[in-house]
Amino acid sequence: MKKKLFILFVCFQSIIGFAQSNNHKDFYSHDVGLFLGGSYYIGDLNPRGHFALSQPAGGVFYRFNYSHRFAFRGGVNMGSVMADDSQSDNEDQLERNLNFKSRIYELYAKSEFNFMEYQIGHSKFFFSPYVFLGLDVFYFNPQGNVNNSWVNLKRLSTEGQKTSQNPDQKPYKLIQPAIPFGLGFKLNIAKSMGLGFEWGPRKTFTDYIDDVSNKYVDPALLAAEKGATAAQMSNRSEDPLTYANNTGKLRGNPNTKDWFFFYGVTLSIKLKQKPKECRGR
Q: What amino acid occupies position 161?
A: Q
Provide the domain limits for residue 34.
2-273
Over residues 19-69, the pLDDT tens digits come to: 554 554 567 899 999 999 999 999 999 999 999 999 999 999 999 999 999
User: Does the pLDDT value for residue 265 go beyond 50?
Assistant: yes
Residue 242 lies in a domain: yes
pTM of the model: 0.89
The backbone region for 69, taken as left when phi is positive above 0, alpha when psi lies in -120 to 50, beta otherwise, is alpha
In a domain, residue 10? The reply is: yes
| CA distance to 13, 98, 163, per residue, from 44 (Å) | 33, 10, 23
Residue 280 lies in a domain: no
Q: Residue 279 domain-assigned?
A: no
C-alpha distances (whole Å) from 243 to each of 100, 138, 154 are 19, 34, 21
Give the total number of structural domains in the chain: 1
Question: What's the mean pLDDT in 105-122?
Answer: 95
CATH at residue 31:
2.40.160.20
**Alpha helical stretches, state H, 28-104:** 91-96
- Residue 273 is predicted with a pLDDT of 62
Sign for the pseudo-dihedral over CA of 201, 207, 211, 214: positive
